Amino acid sequence: MYFLAAVSLLSAVIAQAAPTTTVAPSSATTTTASTATASDVNSACAVQPTGVSVRPSTDTAAAFTKYTGFHGAAVSAASPSGYLISFASANKAVAQSDSYMTYYLLNSYDPQTCANYCDNSYGCTSFNIFFERAPTLNPAAGCPNPPSATYVKCSLFAHTIASTQLATNAGQWRGPYVGNNVTQNFQVVLAGSNAYNKN
């Protein structure tokens, strides 16, 4: 789990999207995207990439998955040209598999930008775009449950995403155990997950 988290952070540093207009409901907090070097983000309590922070006022995993701003952005998003939607506004993402290619951090919830990455990636036939609750600090003993930021992720795949049956990634816990209590660590959860296939 921790290895995958480190790989995800390194990928996030490498893959940055072109600026677009941020989806920002009036009740949300919004910041701009930023980056950090791989050596910075993996140390204990290191500051993480800021992401595009559109989040509920209550900073919990449960509030994140229920936030209407995320679901509204997902259900109102237009399908990119040349793509058909497979599923919309799930609270899970398509799990990594042999056909998983890479992911990008976007500056807004914009399926067209994600489609552009897929179109420019040899072998890409589908993509999954979603909001992810991410920690602002790398969780460690000194900061097991830091405040959250929101990432908009665009994952590319070399297979057809047939249905939500492939959406099995609901997030993960990050950080060390505090005693035997994992609930004191940071919970990564997802919302507003849409998947699209080339037609």
Average pLDDT by stretches of 10, the chain with 199 residues: 37 38 34 47 93 89 97 97 97 94 97 98 98 96 94 97 90 84 86 98
Tell me the two tokens of residue 6: 């480190």
Give me the pLDDT at residue 178, please: 67
Domains of the chain by residue range: 2-16+29-198
Tell me the two tokens of residue 122: 């040899």
Tell me the two tokens of residue 184: 């004191």
Number of H helices, E strands in the chain: 5, 7
- Sign of the torsion angle spanned by Cα atoms 62, 170, 29, 177: positive
Report strand pairing: 172-174 vs 186-188: antiparallel
H-only helix segments in the chain: 2-14, 38-41, 61-66, 68-76, 111-119
Give me the pLDDT at residue 163, please: 85
Report the length, in residues, of the chain. Answer: 199
Which pTM does this prediction carry?
0.80
